[in-house]
Amino acid sequence: MYAVILAGGVGTRLWPRSRQNSPKQFTDIAGSGRTMIQETVARLEGLVSPEDTYVITGSRYAGLCSTQLDGLPEENVLVEPQGRNTAPAIALACAHLQRRNPEEVVAVLPADHLIEDGAGFRKALQQAEQCAREGYLTVLGIEPTKAHTGYGYIQRKDDRLPSAGDLPAFSVSRFLEKPDQATAEQFLTDGGYYWNGGIFVSRVEGLLAEYERQMPELYKGMNRIAAVLGTSELGGVLAEVWPTMPDISIDYGLMEGAERVAVVPMQVGWNDLGSWDALETVVAQDEGGNYPIEGEILQMNSKGNIVAADRRLVALIDVDDLIVIDAGDALLIGKKESIQHVKQVVEALQAADRTELL
Amino acid sequence: MYAVILAGGVGTRLWPRSRQNSPKQFTDIAGSGRTMIQETVARLEGLVSPEDTYVITGSRYAGLCSTQLDGLPEENVLVEPQGRNTAPAIALACAHLQRRNPEEVVAVLPADHLIEDGAGFRKALQQAEQCAREGYLTVLGIEPTKAHTGYGYIQRKDDRLPSAGDLPAFSVSRFLEKPDQATAEQFLTDGGYYWNGGIFVSRVEGLLAEYERQMPELYKGMNRIAAVLGTSELGGVLAEVWPTMPDISIDYGLMEGAERVAVVPMQVGWNDLGSWDALETVVAQDEGGNYPIEGEILQMNSKGNIVAADRRLVALIDVDDLIVIDAGDALLIGKKESIQHVKQVVEALQAADRTELL
- Tens of pLDDT, residue by residue over A278-313, are 999 888 999 999 999 988 999 999 999 999 998 899
Q: Does residue A78 sit in the same domain as residue A145?
A: yes
Tell me how close the Cα of A297 comes to any Cα of chain B, in angstroms: 10
Phi–psi pair at A6, nearest 5 degrees: -90, 115
Q: Out of A271, A294, A327, pick the residue that ends a domain.
A: A271
A350 contact residues in B (CB cutoff 8 A): none
Pair A80, A209 in one domain = yes
Q: Report ipTM for this prediction.
A: 0.88
Cβ contacts of A319 on chain B, cutoff 8 Å: 322, 333-335
Residues of chain A with Cβ-Cβ distance to B342 below 8 Å are: 315, 317
User: Of B240, B271, B302, which residue sits at a domain end?
Assistant: B271
A31: pLDDT confidence band, cut at 50, 70 and 90?
Answer: confident
In a domain, B125, yes or no: yes
Q: Are residues B146 and B18 in the same domain?
A: yes
| Residue pair A214/A208 in contact by the 8 Å Cβ criterion | no
d(CA A20, CA A65): 14
- Asked whether residue B161 falls in the same domain as residue B234, the answer is yes
Total tally of structural domains belonging to chain A: 2
Residues A241 and A288 in one domain: no
Q: Are B233 and B194 in contact (CB under 8 A)?
A: no
Share of chain B above pLDDT 90, in %: 91
Q: Are residues A111 and A35 part of one domain?
A: yes
Q: Determine the pLDDT at residue A30.
A: 87
Confidence (pLDDT) at B310 = 81
- Which of A239, A271, A303 is the last residue in one of the domains? A271
Is B9 inside any structural domain? Answer: yes
Q: How far apart are CA A263 and CA A109, in angstroms?
A: 15
Check whether the bond before B16 is cis (ω within 30° of 0): yes
Query: What is the reported pLDDT for B77?
Result: 97
Check residue A163 and give its pLDDT. Answer: 75
Residue B164 resides in a domain: yes
Are the CB atoms for A40 and A56 separated by under 8 Å?
A: no
pLDDT (average), residues B307-331:
94
Minimal-distance CA residue of chain A relative to B296? A330
Q: How far apart are the C-alpha atoms of B120 and B266, rounded to whole Å?
A: 8
Q: What is the mean pLDDT of residues B230-240?
A: 94
Q: Which residues pair with B297 in a beta bridge?
A: B314
Pick from A331, A337, A338: CB nearest B314: A331
Interface mutation vs chain B, best among A311, A322, A324, A333, most B CBs within 10 Å:
A333
B279 in a structural domain: no
Long-range pairs for A221-229: beta carbons < 8 A, 24 or more residues apart: A221/A91, A221/A245, A222/A91, A222/A92, A222/A94, A222/A95, A223/A95, A225/A92, A225/A95, A226/A95, A226/A96, A226/A98, A226/A99, A229/A95, A229/A96, A229/A99
Give the pLDDT of residue A295.
86
When CB atoms are compared, the residue of B326, B341, B354 closest to A300 is B341
A188: containing domain? 2-271
The verdict on residue A278 lying in a domain is no
Question: Do the Cβ atoms of B317 and A334 come within 8 Å?
Answer: yes
> B41 or A310: which carries more pLDDT confidence?
B41
Task: Tell me the shortest Cα–Cα distance from B344 to chain A, in angstroms.
Answer: 8
Q: Which residue of A has its CA nearest to B299?
A: A345
Residues A263, A301 within the same domain: no
Do A344 and A238 share a domain, yes or no? no
B236 and B351 inside one domain: no
Chain B residue with minimal CA distance to A356? B313
Beta-carbon separation of A317 and B324 below 8 A: no
Residues of B in contact with A311 (CB under 8 A): 329
Q: What is the pLDDT of residue B10?
A: 86
Residues B49-82 pLDDT 10s:
999 999 999 999 999 999 999 999 999 999 999 8
Average pLDDT, chain A: 95
Percentage of residues in chain A having pLDDT higher than 90: 91
Chain B: nearest CA to A137, how far in angstroms? 42
Q: What are residue B79's DSSP bridge partners?
A: B57
Q: Among all residues of chain B, which has the CA nearest to that of A335?
A: B318
Alpha carbon of B340: minimum distance to chain A alpha carbons (Å): 9
Same domain, B20 and B89: yes
pLDDT given for residue B119 in this prediction: 96
Q: Does A194 map to a domain?
A: yes
Same domain, yes or no: A62 and A166: yes
Q: What is the mean pLDDT of residues B103-132?
A: 97
Which of A311, A317, A338 faces B335 most closely, judged by CB atoms?
Answer: A317
> Residue B134's domain is classified under what CATH number?
3.90.550.10
Identify whether B276 is part of a domain: no
**Chain B residues contacting A via beta carbons under 8 Å:** 16, 298, 300-301, 309, 311-319, 322, 324, 326, 328-335, 337-339, 341-342, 344-345, 348-349, 354, 357
Concatenating the DSSP letter of every residue in A22-52 gives B-GGGS-TTSSSS-HHHHHHHTTTTTS-GGG
Q: Are residues A123 and A263 in the same domain?
A: yes
Q: Tell whether the model's pLDDT for residue B163 goes beyond 80.
A: no
B67, with CB counted inside 10 A (0-12, 13-18, 19+), is exposed
Q: What is the mean pLDDT of residues B243-254?
A: 94
Cis peptide leading into A16, omega within 30 of 0?
yes
Nearest CB to A345 within list B298, B324, B348? B298
pLDDT for A167 equals 92
Structural domain contains residue A40: yes
pLDDT, tens digit, for every residue of A209-267? 999 999 999 999 999 999 999 999 999 999 999 999 999 999 999 999 999 999 999 99
